[in-house]
Amino acid sequence: MKDIYIKEFDCMGKQSDIIMTCDQKLLEIFDKETLKRLLKTQIENEKYEEAKVIKKYINRLLIIEISNLYDIKLYFVEKDDIYCEANGEESYIDQCYVAGGLNCIEKRCLPDIWVGIFEDPELMLAGFFHELGHLFDTVEYGKSDIPDEDWKYENEKRAWKIGFEKAEEFGIEFGKKAKKWGDEKLKTYEGWYEREVRT
């Protein structure tokens, strides 16, 4: 099922918030327990590809529920959609993005999370929780003892830690693969200041 995104712009270029997804329709038709039973049946019958698709939808429904809980504007990026057209599809492969933060949640303005294009359902969920970690990070740039050259790395490190702690609050514990993937993502920020700022 492909998500449908409708974005309308007024003459000032502001977006109106019209977002319709097939996932929301799925949420009305199936509950997670029904999908979990279906997932178990597929695994028992060794239909692993089908099971992977079902697991992806279970995780997407969970992401929608959590986003609704925190009033997060959520976008699932799909191949050839407006985000891929604007920024390149490669920008969204196994990537998530966030705009806003804890202050945004407290002030009731809507933070945004973009969930990129993932083959692996667990990595998609881990990426979402990482971005959620950014939203709940209380350490502000310029208001801590963290030197500028270490800020980006430490910021990302905190987001992984906070995000995985948030996942535990929802009864989710990530496996070794997701944790290793998170570590690999974090390592890409080593030397970030030298590469991106000083050059």
Supply the pLDDT for residue 105: 56
Task: Taking residues 53-64, report their average pLDDT.
Answer: 82
In terms of DSSP H, where are the helices of 45-147? 48-69, 82-87, 102-106, 121-135
Measure the CA dihedral 17/73/32/24, to 10°.
10
What phi and psi values does residue 116 have, to the nearest 5 degrees?
A: -75, -160
Burial group, residue 15, by CB count within 10 angstroms (0-12, 13-18, 19+): exposed
- Give the torsion sign (CA, 144, 147, 149, 155): negative
Q: Is pLDDT larger for residue 136 or for residue 19?
A: 136
The tokens of 118 are what?
């993932």
**Sorting pLDDT into bands at 50, 70 and 90, what band is 190?**
confident
Query: How many domains is the chain partitioned into structurally?
Result: 1
Q: Is the pLDDT of residue 26 over 70?
A: no
Helix (H, G, I), strand (E, B) or coil at 96: strand
Supply the pLDDT for residue 139: 80
DSSP character for 136?
A: T
Show the domain range for 38: 4-196
Tell me the residue type at 153: Y
Percent of the chain with pLDDT over 90: 38
Measure the CA dihedral 79/54/169/182, to 10°.
-50
Least confident of 5-9, 37-41, 115-119, 170-174: 5-9
Least confident of 2-16, 55-69, 129-143: 2-16
Supply the pLDDT for residue 17: 34
